[in-house]
Amino acid sequence: MTDLTTLLNEEQFEAATAPDGPLLILAAAGTGKTRTLVYRVVHLIERGIPPEAIMLLTFTNRAAREMLERAEDVTGGATRGLWGGTFHHVANRFLRKFASKLGFRPDFTIFDAEDQRTLMGNCIKGLGFKPSEFLKRELVLSLISGATNRGLEFEDYAESRIEDTEIPLEQVIKVADEYARLKIQNNGMDFDDLLVNALRLLTEHDDARLFYQEHFQHILVDEYQDTNILQSQFIDTLGSPHKNVSVVGDDFQCIYSWRGSNYDNIMSFPDRYPGTLIVKLEQNYRSLPEILKVANASIKQNKKQFEKTLRSTRASLHAKPTVYSVYSDTEQAARVIEIISKAVSAGYSYDDIAVLYRSHFHSSQIDRELTKSNIPFAVTSGIGFYEQAHIKDILALLRITIFPVEKLALMRVLQLLPGVGAVTVERIWGKLGGVFEVEKENHRKNLLAFLPAKARPFWSAVDVALEEFVANNRSIKAVNDLVDKFINLFYIKHLSQQYDNAEERKDDIFELVADIEQHYDLTEYLANITLKTNVDREKDKKDQTSEETPHVLLSTIHQAKGLEWPVVIVVWLTEGMFPSSRALLEDLSCSEERRLFYVAVTRAKDNLHLFVPRVRFMHGGGRMDCIQSRFIKEIPEELVRNVEFSFNSPGFGGGYSPSYYRRF
DNA sequence: ACCAATCACTTTTTT
DNA sequence: AGTGATTGGT
Ligand SMILES: Nc1ncnc2c1ncn2[C@@H]1O[C@H](COP(=O)(O)OP(=O)(O)OP(=O)(O)O)[C@@H](O)[C@H]1O
């Protein structure tokens, strides 16, 4: 038995060892909510609950894995079989088992954002509408997703969102219907469908519901403030017989309401679950008191919040967070490098440092400067590894060897051939009769015959490789061979024609192959790959390369959720950047943006650096003066140290004393 | 009819 | 950098 009293404080211990029944931990940042949840898992297992009867829901798959690793260490491996992951991950597992109940094949595809756009483009064209300023695919997709994740009727929601615009509601509705039809026809679901259909499975199919209700005796949810209505209903349904539902969250940190997250879920939890044990944690173990003062002062500006006390357990070092006023993007980048170098000379590792920002493109200048300075770093970019064009090309090739109804994948691969475009490929799919099975010789023959003469020599080479792959039972070991041939026979030409970093992309592809070789089952690999995010991947790489070089992380604040670093640098704190201009239009009070700022600040353990550029160089060469972000203005003067760099201050590098930098 | 090359435009956040 | 729209070429 693990002695939890030595690992947790009194309140944490009470929560971790609470008896069966609903439990709510509502507490601000860094108070050990996640840690408490980990030890609740440990406690349940040591109490004799079988691990497969426990479900742990987290915001990223990475978070689940880290938590389970910790629990595994403590329990000596007794967590095997526990279900951990995101809602989408769990929904996917449910749906693979019971797909036929909802009219899907169990090998249904999961469409990523790009697939969704392709499909939506087909809908608009297919209905004879021409994509216009008023009927963009992004728009229709965002209306569909917005309605879905808020549990609203599409027509009502769409109407309310586009009233006072010239967007044609009639057409939007037609297109949305067509999109739904096309997804089913293609045997696929998008991300939202996973949630919708998993919930439908539970509500509409008694046997499936009873099966899972009996299976899961305990449900634990981290980051509960960022769940939406579908997710909370999913949990409520699953947990309704026993109400052994433990949720953890902080309404200050709700930063996904733009996709339907609603912190009313956490606020109304005790009403939905009478008899809830509510535990509040007030001691912050992460940050120095000076950092917490800034965080608390900032979040106080939000009106609709629940008061929470938050005090640091750490001793003050009288090192206030610093606000830097810099001239431009370029100077900002140079000063960030300085801070990183100084932190490293003070004894920190590169791993201890993160640069955080509102939007991906805020990182580009810093990216360049870090490269120039030879400082190791990683960026969590907007497109994930598996979403890159060249990776998706290869995955599409593999998909068509495994799944018979893969229109999108087949279209993608064929369009790589010379002389084959969207129209040809559509016609071929029709002639094939909506199915292509690579192991059937006549299917392959037909495909070759339907291709235009220009493309045929290329494809016949690939065809041979496909045949060999089938002869090798489409085993994991044969993947390398297939991909190698595919690349050398023609794909490499495409790469070098299209991009100037063809070699890099080829390396990526073989990295993908190596990743596939770590798995046993190609079918399963392909079925789940869409759910892998780049945050998950960062962790995969860490696990595999035993000694990865320490590196600075550049990340959006959204992707930094739940993480912590000794040194945190936040850049581009100007009106229009953070808060973002679009947020300014939508919500003048910027409450969600402020919560995002709160999240950024509370990632820091020892040092917090806030950057405010004074000018911004625009696209065409124009210059715009920046206004300091309201989030900086709102911080009382005495809580921060101000450093102003004038444009011509004696060389980048001098000008202020670094003596406040100490290793703690 | 259809493909492919070219140019102009733009940048919130993600499972 | 990557997308979308337009246009010239086969
Ligand atoms: N009782 C404790 N003793 C020592 N360290 C603790 C204790 N509780 C939490 N910590 C440490 O405090 C830090 C923050 O904990 P954790 O990430 O669990 O907090 P959190 O409430 O989930 O934070 P956030 O809301 O910001 O995600 C971690 O480094 C954790 O190890």
CATH number at residue A17: 3.40.50.300
Residue A8 C-alpha to ligand 1 middle, in angstroms? 10
What percent of chain A has pLDDT above 90?
A: 51
Quick one: average pLDDT of A268-281? 94
Whether omega for the bond prior to residue A579 falls within 30 degrees of 0, making it cis, is: yes
Please give the pLDDT value at position A90.
95
**Closest Cα to atom 25, ligand 1: which residue?**
A29
Specify whether the CB–CB gap between A30 and A254 falls below 8 A.
Answer: no
- The residues close to strand C, meaning Cβ under 7 A, are A 114, 117, 131-132, 136-138, 383, 388-389, 499
Catalytic positions of A are 33-34, 222-223, 253, 603
State the distance from the centre of ligand 1 to the C-alpha of A229, rounded, in angstroms: 27
pTM for this model (two decimals): 0.90
What Å value separates CA A453 and C1' B2?
Answer: 14
Three-state helix/strand/coil letters over A145-189: HHHHHHCCCHHHHHHHHHCCCCCCHHHHHHHHHHHHHHHHHCCEE
Position A647 scores a pLDDT of 60
Question: What is the reported pLDDT for A457?
Answer: 85
Is residue A440 domain-shared with residue A557, that is, in the same domain?
A: no
Q: Would you say residue A205 has pLDDT above 80?
A: yes
- Ligand 1 mean position, distance from CA A314 (Å): 12
Confidence of residue A545 (pLDDT cuts 50, 70, 90): low
One domain for residues A179 and A243 = no
User: Of all protein residues, whose CA lies closest to atom 18 belonging to ligand 1?
Assistant: A32
Determine which residue's CA is closest to atom 5 belonging to ligand 1. A285
Q: Check whether residue A277 and residue A360 sit in a common domain.
A: no
Pocket test for ligand 1, best of A285, A314, A565 (most atoms within 8 A of CB): A285
- Structural domain containing residue A173: 110-186
Question: So what's the pLDDT on residue A385?
Answer: 83
Q: Are residues A246 and A362 in the same domain?
A: no
Check residues A664 and A360 and name the one with the higher pLDDT: A360
**What average pLDDT does this structure show over A497-526?**
86
Q: Could you list the protein residues whose CB lies below 7 A from any atom in strand B?
A: A 59-60, 86-89, 113, 191-192, 255-256, 258-259, 358-361, 380, 382, 384, 415, 418-425, 427, 531, 533-535, 556, 558-559, 580-583, 586, 619
| Same domain for A509 and A396 | yes
Per-residue DSSP letter, A82 = -
Chain B positions under 7 Å from a protein CB?
Answer: 1-4, 10-15
- Sign (positive/negative) of CA torsion A436, A440, A443, A449? positive
What is the residue type of A294? V
- Give the 3-state secondary structure of A594-616: HHHHHHHHCCEEEEEEEEEECEE
Please indicate whether residue A286, judged by its CB atom, sits closer than 6 Å to ligand 1: yes
- Separation of CA A423 and C1' B1 in angstroms? 9
Q: Is the sign of the CA dihedral A449, A450, A453, A456 positive or negative?
A: negative
Whole-number Å distance, alpha carbon A653 to ligand 1 midpoint, is 36
Atom 1 of ligand 1, nearest CA residue = A8
Q: For position A544, what pLDDT does the model report?
A: 60
Asked if residue A563 and residue A514 are part of one domain, the reply reads: no
Specify if A541 maps to a domain: no
**Residue ending a domain, choose from A281, A309, A326:** A281
Nucleotides of C under 7 A from a protein CB: 2-5
Q: Indicate if ligand 1 lies below 6 Å from the C-beta of A250.
A: yes
**Euclidean distance between CA atoms A487 and A133, whole angstroms:** 39
Over 60: is that where the pLDDT of A656 sits?
Answer: no
Query: To test the ligand 1 pocket, which listed residue (A2, A286, A312, A313) has its Cβ within 8 A of the most ligand atoms?
Result: A286
Distance CA A180, CA A648 (A): 59
Q: What is the pLDDT of residue A344?
A: 95
Q: What is the pLDDT of residue A212?
A: 96
Q: Measuring from the CA of residue A531 to each C1', which nucleotide is nearest?
A: B15
CATH of the domain at A456: 1.10.486
Assess contact for A269 and A263: CB atoms under 8 A. no
pLDDT in tens, A314-339: 888 778 999 999 988 888 999 999 99
Token pair listed for A38: 């980990």
pLDDT of A241 strictly over 70? yes
pLDDT digits (tens, 9 = 90+) for A58-95: 988 778 888 998 998 888 888 888 999 999 999 999 99
Report the largest interatomic distance among the alpha carbons of chain A, rounded to a whole angstrom: 78
Q: How far is the CA of A234 from the centre of ligand 1 (A)?
A: 28
Q: Which of A473, A493, A528 is the last residue of a domain?
A: A528
Element at A248 (helix H, strand E): strand A245-249
Asked if the structure places residue A336 within a domain, the reply is: yes
Residue nearest to nucleotide B11 (CA to C1'): A361
Within a domain: residue A381?
no
Tell me the ipTM for this assembly.
0.91
Instruction: Name the domain boundary from A528, A558, A577.
Output: A528
Q: Among A296-310, A457-471, A599-613, whose mean pLDDT is lowest? A: A296-310
Q: What is the pLDDT of residues A384-403, one digit of tens each?
A: 788 888 999 999 999 999 98
Q: Tell me, what's the pLDDT at A582?
A: 86
Distance A642 CA to ligand 1 centre (A): 29
A231 and A276 belong to one structural domain: yes
| Nearest nucleotide relative to A389: CA against C1' | C2
> How many Å lie between the centroid of ligand 1 and the Cα of residue A60?
18
Mean pLDDT of A522-545: 74
A663 pLDDT tier (thresholds 50, 70, 90): very low
> In sequence order, what DSSP letters do the residues of A356-368 get, joined into one string?
EESSGGGGHHHHH
pLDDT of residue A600: 96
Q: How far is the CA of A497 from the C1' of C8 (A)?
A: 20
Q: How far is the CA of A189 from the C1' of B2 (A)?
A: 31
Distance between CA atoms of A326 and A332, rounded to whole angstroms? 6
Measured from the Cα of A561, ligand 1's closest atom is 27
Which pLDDT score is estimated for A662? 30
Count of CB atoms situated within 10 Å of the CB of A238: 22
Highest-pLDDT range among A288-302, A495-509, A517-531: A288-302
Pair A265, A334 in one domain: no
> Is residue A539 situated within a structural domain?
no
Q: Is the CB of A29 under 6 A from ligand 1?
A: yes
Note whether A640 and A583 are same-domain residues.
yes
In a domain, A117, yes or no: yes
Q: Is A176 exposed, middle or buried (0-12, 13-18, 19+ CB in 10 A)?
A: buried
What sections of A246-388 are H helices per DSSP?
264-267, 269-272, 289-299, 329-345, 364-372
Whether A291 maps to a domain, the answer reads no
Q: Are A448 and A366 members of one domain?
A: no
Taking C1' of B13 and every protein CA, the nearest residue is: A558
Mean of per-residue pLDDT scores for chain A: 88
3-state SS, residue A387: helix
Which pLDDT belongs to residue A388? Answer: 87
pLDDT tens profile A457-475: 888 889 999 999 999 989 9
A171 and A200 share one domain: no
Residues A86 and A214 both lie in one domain:
yes
The span from the CA of A263 to the CA of A167, in Å, is 31
Number of domains in chain A: 4
The response to whether residue A284 sits with its C-beta less than 6 Å from ligand 1 reads: no
The answer to whether residue A258 is domain-embedded is yes
